[in-house]
A and B are shown apart, each in its own frame.
Chain A
């Protein structure tokens, strides 16, 4: 694994995306350091998904530039794809395949050797407390386990950066806690975690946060710095103030 500790893992500079006359993402700029857990927050429709799509190469930027794991998302998208993991907000494993078959599939897609796949499969099964002989179809697993498995699979090839798009939607608090333990482990191994969430208690777990409002990054900093900046006790209130945006001034 080559984590460039000197260079930031993700860089966005004036990154923009327009759909016709609508600007979904408006000149956002930020840097995420290697090994950081970076929370990417924003109300629905604030432009989070569009931004992630540009960073993962699902959408080309209208303007500006971005690099992920040291590779340009415009010109080196193949390289970017090999160095990132991705977990979409929709469940991303095949439920008619077994746990092992899913791991094997993604291991194969990301070019792991059979030995690596076997070794990491054993590790994942132990980590998630599956019986080593598990032959269950993913369909039969409880949602929480599915999500943890999906995360493990997204991390299977030890990507430099992993993008998690609302990974804990619909998951109970205990499983969410376990899920975040997995995230911390990945970060400890050097993987940069880029995570979107709607749970503001989860946002507290992040090293740094950015909050998007109307296509722009309205706030950026550590959870405590943001609370201090807005002089409010919780991130919840930071979020609500920002999300109301300029309208607050107009109304008051």
Chain B
């Protein structure tokens, strides 16, 4: 009787069901949609990169015309916000500790008289390096202003000795938000693709509905596509939100091709989805699938991708391992596109690696799903 059996219709029916699962579980859906934004804001604000509005404190034990000139220069530079003048270096420490100052400039007592007498004097610049990149930038800006000021004093060469110092504070990521957004996209895509597919597919196995699907005329590839496409759509929505929020809230630059970024996000998502399907096919329970997805995809994609720890500073064996971590290649692509504005001519090796990964994982996933529930 089923001569008019249509595989397209069957696939459509199956996908409609998947979309319903997604939409019906409001809580999970809401989390999946809002989490990316929450993560972006969290990481974005936790990592300060803004080098305008640098709060600077000038310590001048004996204020005079020269120190006033220095203060004016900072004021007019546009990047600094002057804090009230300090008389003693110790009070600078307190400002740093309470997070009220970003940079401090410490002058020696009797600066004017020393300069007049031709006695060398020292200027110390201290920058808060909660984020080393930002710290260095701030320090360099401050040094530039101080050098201009020294030049304007007309002092003899060598009369003012400039010393700079970075004041390190706790900072685990060494990342700025610009570098972080690409990693965040990778992380969110991994979660939505690998983790969610693995859970959704293993739920079917656990509940016995998977068996019914296998007995039905649906092909394994139809089951996989039906499972995967709704999550792919969700993943792409997440990419869009993160990019939009990064641009609106953090002014993250976007220098390259949006189309290429979306295409590579889709490629990376497919790798994640195939991995999720594979995980679900080798695990027997939802819990096992979830743990395997966390350990097998989230963990390496976070730790071994260069997202948090620079790959170059990893021990050699770990560096080799990073080669099989999909996010490593994806983050390189996204950073290349967003921050450097490069295209496929530069990024093709990374794209190629991801494509090969996708083909291998997809083949394995379909084979594993086809091997019936033996």
Contacts and interface: CB of A to CB of B under 8 A. Distances in A.
Indicate, yes or no, whether A interacts with B. Answer: yes
A95 B2 CA distance: 27
Given A104-B13, A108-B12, A110-B2, A82 B215 contact: no
Interface of A: 1-2, 53, 56-60, 78, 81-84, 86-97, 101, 104-111, 113, 157-158, 163
Contact of A92 (B1, B6, B211): B211
Contact of A94 (B4, B9, B21, B373): B21
Contact of B208 (A2, A53, A88, A104): A88
B217 A91 contact: no
Contacts of A104: 13, 16
Given A108-B10, A110-B5, A96 B24 contact: yes
19 contacts: A2-B1, A53-B372, A57-B215, A58-B214, A58-B215, A59-B372, A82-B2, A82-B217, A94-B17, A97-B20, A101-B20, A105-B13, A105-B14, A108-B13, A108-B14, A109-B13, A109-B213, A110-B10, A111-B5
Contacts of B352: none
A39 to B, nearest CB: 20
A165 B236 CA distance: 41
A211 to B, nearest CB: 24
Contact of B372 (A58, A107, A158): A58
A130 B180 CA distance: 54
B90 interface: no
Nearest to A114: B9
A96 B17 CA distance: 10
A96 to B, nearest CB: 5
B373 A110 contact: no
Contacts of B211: 58, 86, 88, 90, 92
Contact of A90 (B2, B25, B208, B374): B208
Contacts of A109: 10, 13-14, 213, 216-218
Contacts, number: 98
B222 to A, nearest CB: 9
Contacts of B12: 108
Nearest to B374: A59
Contacts of A81: 215-217
Given A2-B1, A90-B208, A96-B25, A78 B16 contact: no
B63 to A, nearest CB: 72
Nearest to B212: A92
A157 B2 contact: yes
Interface string B7-35: 00110111011001100110000000000
A140 to B, nearest CB: 13
Given A86-B215, A91-B208, A57 B21 contact: no
A1 B2 CA distance: 9
A181 B121 CA distance: 104
A90 B17 contact: no
A101 B212 CA distance: 16
Interface of B: 1-2, 4-6, 9-10, 12-14, 16-17, 20-21, 24-25, 207-209, 211-218, 372-374
B2 to A, nearest CB: 4
A14 B17 CA distance: 40
B207 A91 contact: yes
A160 B12 CA distance: 24
B217 A78 contact: yes
A106 B17 CA distance: 10
A81 B5 CA distance: 11
A213 to B, nearest CB: 23
> Which of B17, B212, B216 has the most CB atoms of chain A within a 10 A radius of its CB?
B212
Contacts of A94: 17, 21, 209
Nearest to B7: A111
Q: What are the 5 closest A-B residue pairs judged by CB atoms, nearest first?
A: A108-B13, A90-B208, A111-B5, A86-B215, A92-B212
Given A88-B211, A157-B1, A111 B217 contact: yes
B215 A84 contact: yes
Contacts of B2: 82-83, 110-111, 157
Contacts of B4: 111, 113
B145 to A, nearest CB: 63
A218 B274 CA distance: 45
B196 to A, nearest CB: 15
A38 B84 CA distance: 94
A105 B13 CA distance: 5
A145 B4 CA distance: 31
Contact of B5 (A82, A89, A91): A82
Contacts of A88: 208, 211-212
A78 B208 CA distance: 21
A110 B217 contact: yes
A44 to B, nearest CB: 17
Contacts of A83: 1-2
A53 B373 contact: yes
